[in-house]
Amino acid sequence: MKRAEKAQRIAGILGDLYPDPPIPLDHADPFTLLIAVLLSAQTTDVMVNRVTPGLFEVAATPEQMAKLTVEEIRSHIQTCGLAPQKAKAIRGLSEILVEEEGGTVPADFAALERLPGVGHKTASVVMAQAFGVPAFPVDTHIHRLADRWGLSDGRNVEKTERDLKRVFPRESWNFLHLQIIYFGREHCPARGHDLSECPICSWAATGKRIREEARKNAPRGGARRS
């Protein structure tokens, strides 16, 4: 099966499972989404959604956030991974937004990626979910599943993004990346996954890949003899 045919079938299955996938990070506007996505690095969305209400109650705009010290920001996000670095980045990007962007989040990839702590994936999420600009943010779930499904070779996230953009229609990118994330979390874990029973892996993964993962997940060592 060609990649384009495989992608079409996958999109149909994901569309049936997740016809209207919600954005998993709680937010009210582009700025609070930007902060939430930045916080989500090496942290679960559940954890981010626990800490952002307290943070946004104190500072929900770039102007308010820029008035806080790094230590004050850190006190609200300390249960998130990499809290010291994230607090510094949040303070720094808030200052830049106030001083250079009139207190608004720019709907521009290059401008977003110049902000402290904002890489291409974070910028892609903001562009897609806050501004509706077609983008295909690739997180660990998407990178892993694209490789399992034979839609990319898994070499790196940049190549995975390019490969997925080639096989899926541009107008589907913004909701499709959310569908894949939800599918990865609920049906297609990284470890202990039986590909032969998966509604997508069972036919999208190669027979070789299914056998390799079955061997990797098999119990080590034989049964002990009495």
- List, for residues 80-136, the tens digit of each pLDDT value: 989 999 999 999 999 999 999 999 999 999 999 999 999 999 999 999 999 999 999
Is residue 36 within 8 Å of residue 27, measured between CB atoms? Answer: yes
Q: What Å distances lie between residue 134 and 28, 31, 74, 217, CA to CA?
A: 20, 19, 33, 37
Continuous segment of H or E residues that includes residue 99: helix 83-100
Residue type for 128, please?
A: A
- List, for residues 59-69, the tens digit of each pLDDT value: 999 999 999 99
Q: Where are the domains of the chain?
A: 3-19+137-217, 30-131
- List, for residues 12-38, the tens digit of each pLDDT value: 999 999 999 999 999 999 999 999 999
- List, for residues 167-201, the tens digit of each pLDDT value: 999 999 999 999 999 999 999 998 889 999 999 99
Both tokens assigned to 52: 């952002």
Helices (H), 132-195: 140-148, 157-167, 173-186
- 218 pLDDT above the threshold of 90: no
Catalytic site positions: 121, 139
pLDDT at 215: 85
Cα–Cα distance for residue pair 87/39, rounded to 1 Å = 9
Cα–Cα distance for residue pair 183/150, rounded to 1 Å = 16
Cα–Cα distance for residue pair 184/181, rounded to 1 Å = 5
Question: Backbone phi, then psi, for 59, in 5-degree steps?
Answer: -150, 105
pLDDT at 225: 37
Contacts of 148 (CB under 8 A, 6+ apart): 188, 195, 201, 204, 205, 209
Give residue 226's pLDDT band: very low, low, confident or very high (50, 70, 90): very low
Give residue 219's pLDDT band: very low, low, confident or very high (50, 70, 90): confident
Contacts of 16 (CB under 8 A, 6+ apart): none
Is residue 217 within 8 Å of residue 191, measured between CB atoms? Answer: yes
3-19+137-217 CATH pick, 3.50.30.30, 1.10.275.10, 1.10.10.60, 1.10.1670.10:
1.10.1670.10
The per-residue b/e assignment along 205-221, b for 16 or more CB within 10 angstroms, e otherwise, is beeebbeebeeeeeeee
Is residue 182 within 8 Å of residue 21, measured between CB atoms? Answer: yes
- 52 pLDDT above the threshold of 50: yes
Q: Is the pTM higher than 0.75?
A: yes
Query: Could you tell me what percentage of the chain is helix, strand and coil, using 3-state DSSP and rounding each to the nearest 5?
Result: 65, 0, 35
Across 155-174, average pLDDT: 95
What superfamily would CATH give domain 30-131?
Hypothetical protein; domain 2 (1.10.340.30)
- List, for residues 206-215, the tens digit of each pLDDT value: 888 888 888 8
- 221 pLDDT above the threshold of 70: no
Residue type for 75, please?
A: S
pLDDT at 224: 40
Is residue 48 within 8 Å of residue 55, measured between CB atoms? Answer: no
